[in-house]
Amino acid sequence: MNAFFRKLIQKPLSEKVEAKDPDFEFYGNQLKKEINSVFKRSLAIREVDCGSDNAAEIEINNLSSPYYDVERFGVTFVASPRHADVLFVTGAVTHNMKYALKKVYDAAPSPKFVVAVGDEACNGGIFKDSYAIYGPVSSVIPVDMEILGNPPEPVEMIKGLLVLMEKAGR
């Protein structure tokens, strides 16, 4: 029995793995500086799905995972548009979601920024000729930034937020 405990103490239970993305770290630190200079606090994001295939949502959720941990850069996700500074809108807007998206936009306090995330939100993507699609996000509400990709990678979202904060600072 003592031999078992000695082996447990001698060997580490897990290996330390450096798995950080250097580009993500660089742009994240730049974003943190911009957020502090523009807002003097953290940046609150509300994600709105208007009829997507969930690819962009998975990447947005990855931002909050332990691997990326975007909250250390001053970016938080909120449950209500009333607490949001930025609306992340994903998916091509369906006819059923058109009015809901307008309500969310109206509920967000000013100044508010809208970011269309993914090809579907930016231009309709593969669904643009469908009878069920009203159009891209820009056909319903004003869009400040478009992040292309199907789905865009987390580092692309951080770069997009960085450009948005730089524009807001000016």
With a cut of 70, say whether residue 17 has pLDDT above it: no
Q: Which two tokens mark 164?
A: 């948005």
Mean pLDDT for the stretch of residues 23-51: 90
Higher pLDDT, 12 or 131: 131
Would you list the domain boundaries of the chain? 41-162
With a cut of 70, say whether residue 1 has pLDDT above it: no
- Which residues are CB-neighbours of 129 under 8 A, at least 6 positions away? none
Pick the CATH number of 41-162 from 3.30.470.30, 3.40.50.12280, 3.40.50.970, 1.10.1040.10: 3.40.50.12280
By C-alpha distance, which of 73, 56, 88, 74 is closest to 20?
73
Find out whether 122 and 160 touch, Cβ atoms under 8 Å: no
By C-alpha distance, which of 135, 126, 127, 54 is closest to 95?
135
With a cut of 60, say whether residue 52 has pLDDT above it: yes
Burial class of residue 83 in the structure, from the number of CB atoms within 10 Å of its CB (0-12 exposed, 13-18 middle, 19+ buried): middle
